[in-house]
């Protein structure tokens, strides 16, 4: 029987073999599937995926010890402008390491940030290419900022200093222009940026008629973590949004995909506020200029009309004098004719009235006697029909909405009726 080895002895042979056969450092391309820091050390899970099926074809664990990770991380973030995160493609300088108790792993000695920048640029260009293929890349540019863009939907972190600066810039403008910003809180840093901003856009879209423009701003916090603004989903949402979208998310190096598809992009929240203030100030200037031109045009027209009236006024006395003479002669002729006609008519009507008077007196006397007799009869009947007499006999009168109720079918559930008695009245509700 052959002599057996302990597991430790076997692992020691593996460690020695790896140390002898793989003594060099290797540059390897891989994608980060996991990354975590523990007591200053960085533990990574590396993966390589099939180019067509996106299926992992290789996996490995890697470690970067604290003394190396501290410098590598700072250099990577300084060059790329963002921290390392899962999903990134990286170029690592590694050496093979096998430990009897912990197994095999790659030890990271260096990371090339330029490789990751190139990969991020390739991914960004792929997103831009897809947006252009969908025909949405320039949709926001086709919109126009309303003349009076004062109702502003703001997507920002509620506690961000940039949001406070934005609101202060709007309210403290020199012309005293009025703005109404409404905050829609969102996460503006880390992996949750894209989904959070999309949720805020959906909320604004439900109230699109309440706003003139959308502003996405980012202020405060780490300025390096901006990868959440370079996603296809967020870019598509902004590109297709019905309102103009202005971004001010603080890029120091270049523009994100979000900046490229937005209606306008500026560097900072205060610059976004200044853009809105300048736009409204320009509109206010045009309105003021138009007002001044209108007043000047009215003044000129008033002066022309004043001169025209003055010339007419100078001609009026002569024209009026001739007109008055003609009208006075006409009136004199009419007066003479009228006087003659009235005298003749009065004589005729006087004689007719005398004849009528002789006939009217006897007829009037007879008519008065008949009417007096008729009135006596009506008074007697009115006394007999007085409701008070009926009430005294025990009858009652019921009314609804001011009308006497004669048929129960007139009433409906909930109607209020009033029953009048000899003494007082009673209110009832139909059930």
Question: Residue 398's pLDDT is what?
Answer: 84
Domains of the chain: 7-116 (2.40.50.140), 135-282 (3.40.50.10550), 387-405+412-430 (no CATH)
Question: Residue 225's pLDDT is what?
Answer: 57
Write the CA distances from 330 to 334, 414, 429, integer angstroms.
Answer: 6, 75, 77
Question: Residue 354's pLDDT is what?
Answer: 80
Question: Residue 62's pLDDT is what?
Answer: 92
Instruction: Tell whether pTM > 0.75.
Output: no
Which pLDDT tens digits describe the chain residue by residue (431 residues)? 567 888 888 888 888 888 888 888 999 988 888 899 999 999 999 998 887 766 788 899 999 999 999 999 998 888 776 788 887 888 999 999 888 888 888 999 999 888 877 667 777 778 888 888 888 888 989 999 999 999 999 999 888 888 888 999 999 888 889 999 999 999 887 778 888 999 999 999 999 999 999 999 986 544 445 667 888 898 899 999 999 999 988 655 557 888 888 999 898 899 999 999 999 999 988 888 888 888 888 988 888 888 888 888 777 777 777 888 888 889 888 888 888 888 888 888 888 888 887 778 777 778 888 888 888 888 878 776 777 777 777 778 888 887 887 887 788 888 888 888 878 888 888 87
Name the region of 182 (left: φ>0; alpha: ψ -120 to 50; beta: rest): beta
Write the CA distances from 150 to 135, 275, 300, 344, integer angstroms.
Answer: 30, 12, 35, 82
Write the CA distances from 365 to 78, 368, 371, 377, 396, integer angstroms.
Answer: 124, 5, 10, 19, 44
Question: Residue 222's pLDDT is what?
Answer: 45
Place of tokens 């390739």: 122
């Amino acid at each position: 029987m052959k002599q057996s080895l302990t597991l430790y002895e076997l692992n020691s042979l593996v460690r020695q073999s790896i140390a002898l056969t793989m003594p060099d450092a290797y540059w390897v391309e891989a994608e980060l599937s996991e990354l975590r820091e523990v007591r200053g050390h960085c533990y990574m899970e590396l993966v390589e995926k099939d180019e067509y099926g996106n299926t992992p074809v290789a996996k490995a664990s890697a470690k970067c010890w604290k003394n190396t990770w501290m410098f590598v991380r700072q250099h990577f973030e300084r060059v790329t402008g963002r921290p390392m995160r899962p999903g990134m493609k990286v170029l690592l300088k590694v050496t093979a390491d096998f430990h009897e108790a912990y197994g095999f792993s790659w030890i990271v000695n260096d990371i090339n940030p330029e490789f990751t920048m190139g990969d991020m640029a390739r991914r960004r260009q792929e997103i831009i290419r897809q947006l252009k293929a969908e025909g949405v890349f320039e949709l926001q540019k086709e919109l126009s900022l309303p003349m009076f863009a004062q109702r502003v939907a703001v997507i920002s972190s509620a506690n961000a200093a940039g949001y406070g600066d934005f609101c202060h810039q709007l309210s403290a403008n020199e012309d005293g222009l009025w703005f109404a910003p409404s905050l829609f809180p969102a996460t503006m840093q880390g992996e949750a940026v894209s989904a959070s901003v999309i949720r805020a856009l959906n909320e604004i879209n439900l109230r699109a008629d309440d706003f003139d423009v959308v502003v996405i701003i980012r202020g405060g916090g780490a300025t390096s973590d901006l990868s959440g603004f370079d996603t296809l989903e967020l870019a598509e949402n902004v590109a297709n949004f019905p309102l103009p979208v202005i971004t001010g998310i603080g890029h120091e190096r270049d523009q994100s995909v979000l900046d490229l598809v937005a209606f306008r992009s500026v560097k900072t929240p205060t610059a976004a506020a200044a853009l809105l203030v300048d736009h409204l100030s320009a509109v206010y200037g045009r309105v003021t200029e138009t007002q001044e031109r209108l007043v000047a045009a009215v003044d000129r027209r008033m002066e022309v009309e004043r001169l025209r009236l003055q010339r007419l006024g100078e001609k009026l006395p002569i024209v009026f004098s001739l007109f008055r003479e003609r009208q006075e002669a006409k009136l004199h002729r009419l007066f003479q004719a009228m006087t003659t006609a009235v005298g003749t008519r009065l004589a005729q009507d006087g004689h007719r009235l005398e004849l009528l008077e002789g006939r009217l007196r006897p007829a009037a006397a007879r008519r008065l006697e008949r009417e007096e007799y008729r009135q006596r009869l009506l008074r007697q009947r009115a006394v007999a029909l007085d409701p008070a007499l009926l009430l005294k006999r025990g009858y009652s009168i019921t009314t609804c909405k001011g009308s006497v109720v004669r048929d129960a079918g007139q009433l409906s559930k909930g109607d209020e009726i009033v029953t009048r008695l000899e003494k007082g009245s009673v209110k009832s509700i139909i059930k």
